Structure 1
Amino acid sequence: MSAVPSHDWIACDWGTSNLRVWAMSGGTPVAEAGSDRGMGSLAPDEFPAALDELLSPWGTTAPVIACGMVGARQGWTEAPYVAVPCPPLAPTLTAAPGPRRVLLIPGISQSSPPDVMRGEETQVAGFLALNPGWDGVLCLPGTHTKWVHLSAGEIVSFRTAMTGELFALLSRASVLRHAMAETGASDAFDAAVSETLSRPERLASELFSIRAGHLLEGRSDGRDRLSGLLIGAELAAMRPYWLGQAVAVVGAGAPGRAYVRALTTVCAQVTEARAEAVTLAGLTAAWRTWKMTQDA
């Protein structure tokens, strides 16, 4: 057993592919662990064992506050959606069955147009905790990128774009997979963003030009062009969300940098935030709210 420093609770980010936990002293992480046992690989009755696998070596019985797909209908137990407009964190958490005290943060839903988020609401809450009074739009890049309009501490509306999933499918399972060299051709990315931002109806034909350019001209910028074309088309579709708005990108790595680069060409004000920092800040806000109800 590996003892961890004194802590009050466990923060848990449980997505489709991965599980991450942090031992928390107030709002400060003192230890962390992770595994690839995400929601997508587990049956509902397998969640307690997957969590124990990470927490048992710590010898902790502290309460767990969890966000993400763990609370989906196909997850451990469903944490029902809360409808917009609403604060990002619901006032009530959902208790998961099992020997540990595990509390799940509900997702957010929207009826028109229909949309849902689960996990991103915690990042929204964390961003607001770190940036009190901020109004504008959050862009959360990922497999399914979220655009979230915030005003007066509430989520007013949001939209989801499947750009990350489309990129993965096209780059790995389509004819374009033969033209996906890693080049870092930023000029090609910028030009591709501009193409579909101004003429999104050209997306399908421009995608095939990646294949043709590779065959006929030996071009090696296919990955950058694919990313740029898809993000440009997304920006065109999401124009009401970023036009004239303060925009913050919550992300890390190449996807986050790509969105920041694309947005800086069309937005006067773009800021960045680290995904892990806002996730922990959101989980901390949920824990503090829950703790107040226990102390009352």
Structure 2
Amino acid sequence: MPMIRINAEGPRAVLHRSSRLVESVLQQTQDIRGPVIIMTHGYKYMPDNSATCPHRHILALRPRALPDYSPSWPQHLGFGSGFTDEGLAVAFGWNARGPLWTAQRRAQSAGRVLADVINKLHRLNPDRPIHFIGHSMGVELAIEALHHICPGALKRIISMTGATYRARVLAALASEAGRRSELINITSRENDLFDFLYEQLVQPPQPGDRSVGAGIDAENAVTLQIDCNTTLAHLSHMIAPIGQSQRRVCHWSSYTRPGALRVYNALLREPQRLSLAALRHGLPNAHAHRWSRLFATPKPRALLPFAQKAS
């Protein structure tokens, strides 16, 4: 049982397409060796929707053929291989359809449901690490959950171009559970347009606040801007290469870029070797400014070698 599919339905957690109780299935997983990695999608996905069900797409071990290609998160995060210590994957779905501000409120509600699942997993096996990885507005679930879980229950959070505000994240990291968690904030200037739209459509917790795409300054957080050549070289040296940016605007490159999920797999499974201090060492002193990629002057293509035939 390398994987469980759970959905937030109102105030409770239910198994995806199963009438069994979540608690009974979780009890069967308490002796599984390896970490628990909870994966959550972002905006516009909805469980059981034929076109947008995340359990058929990014959260599936074997994704169905859909118009928009995406790699399988569970596969690239080390699940389904058959190794005895691969751990437990939890694919967590929630209704992310509708207007952006409505989905954001629903994400916070789903975060409280997620907190209940995390607490149950932690009580069943307190020594087993539980991590979270989410994209876009899915990051809101982990941020909300930090206010409702036992301290130490959630170890590492990877935010892939998260759609949430900095003040909200900092408040969560300052909570009892948050102080014992670590946040790895994946950003890219490819996502600037989406950060800007989020800030226009969703009211900030305090005037003038910015989304986490602008970076997070906290002792237990680090920001990795993955369209920065210095950052990519640093990650390549420490872990593995990530492909170069191919677009000026893209909301999904934080997980569709070749090698990205492989890097996140290492960050979740080797936290001792890949500490926040080690990640900070070798990063640039400042993040690139918003719009710096969108309005950058195009670089000329390298000339072909003299004797090479163009094809």
Band of TM-score, shorter chain: 0.3 to 0.5
| Structure with more of its chain in helix, by fraction | 1
Tell which structure's C-alpha radius of gyration is larger: 1
| Structure with more of its chain in strand, by fraction | 1
